[in-house]
């Protein structure tokens, strides 16, 4: 019997356990990405219009990008303990840098002449943000969300080390017991989730990109 067949047999024998782990993994990833986006996008927009804040934000975000996922989870554990909530907090931190950096890049990458023309037409700062800057920056922001989604889905595997649950439970148990079929029950769905998220966000990014910019 092949390893894949054994993995399928294990999955069929434990459907409830897999469904629970899969649901926790998806919920953990989606919640972390939502929380990070709710914090990082407004922060990126705010910093994009203030050079001092932009400098500080870029440096802090770059430091955050260098931290390994497991190190962040390990640092959170002594402070918040173990379980779903600490895992959610750690994964939200991991998702912040790519979103805030892309938001900054998207807003600051807009041609200043476009903003000046809108201002000369009498548009307010708020109108310029929502009618000019936001639509033009949205494709770049989605690219950051795409990167963050993949990082969070893959990083959520490590949540098993601090009791966060998810598909990482199968992977860690498979490694501990040298049971490759059990490991694959966790590894294959995580890979497919990452690829699916990449495809979905890529499709959304192309859809919201203005046709003229898409051609360019």
Dihedral angle sign, alpha carbons of residues 72, 77, 83, 89? negative
> Residue 144's pLDDT band (boundaries 50, 70, 90)?
very high
| pTM greater than the 0.75 cutoff | yes
pLDDT at 63: 80
Q: Which residues of 68-103 are buried (b: 16+ CB within 10 A; e: fewer)?
A: ebeebbeebbeeeeeebebbbbbbbbbbbbbbbbbb
pLDDT at 101: 93
Q: How confident is the model over 45-65, as pLDDT tens digits?
A: 999 888 888 888 888 888 877
Q: Poorest-confidence range of 13-27, 58-72, 105-119?
A: 58-72
Q: How confident is the model over 80-115, as pLDDT tens digits?
A: 888 888 889 989 988 999 999 999 999 988 888 888
Which one-letter DSSP state was computed for residue 130?
I
Q: What is the total residue count of the chain? A: 216
- CA-wise closest residue to 104 among 153, 44, 52, 46: 44
pLDDT at 70: 73
> Residue 44's pLDDT band (boundaries 50, 70, 90)?
very high
- For range 10-38, the mean pLDDT: 91
List the domains of the chain with CATH numbers: 3-209 (1.10.3720.10)
The token pair that represents 129 in the structure block: 């943000």
Q: How confident is the model over 152-188, as pLDDT tens digits?
A: 999 899 888 888 888 989 999 888 888 888 899 989 9
Question: Is the pLDDT score of 1 beyond 60?
Answer: no
């Amino acid at each position: 019997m092949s390893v894949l067949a054994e993995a399928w047999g294990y999955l069929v024998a434990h459907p409830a356990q897999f469904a629970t782990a899969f649901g926790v993994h998806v919920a953990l990833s989606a919640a972390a990405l939502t929380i990070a986006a709710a914090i990082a996008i407004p922060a990126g927009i705010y910093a994009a219009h203030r050079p001092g804040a932009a400098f500080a934000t870029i440096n802090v975000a770059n430091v955050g990008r260098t931290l390994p996922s497991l190190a962040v989870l390990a640092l959170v554990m002594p402070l918040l303990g173990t379980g779903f909530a600490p895992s959610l907090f750690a994964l939200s931190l991991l998702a912040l840098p790519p979103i805030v950096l892309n938001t900054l890049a998207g807003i600051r990458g807009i041609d200043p002449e476009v903003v000046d023309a809108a201002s000369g037409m009498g548009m307010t700062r708020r109108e310029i943000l929502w009618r000019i800057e936001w639509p033009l920056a949205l494709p770049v922001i989605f690219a950051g969300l795409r990167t963050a989604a993949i990082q969070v889905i893959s990083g959520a595997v490590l949540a098993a080390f601090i009791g966060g649950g998810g598909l990482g439970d199968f992977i860690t148990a498979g490694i501990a017991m040298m049971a490759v079929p059990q490991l694959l029950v966790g590894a294959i769905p995580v890979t497919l989730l990452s690829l699916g998220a990449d495809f979905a966000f890529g499709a959304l990014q192309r859809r919201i990109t203005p046709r003229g910019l898409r051609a360019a």
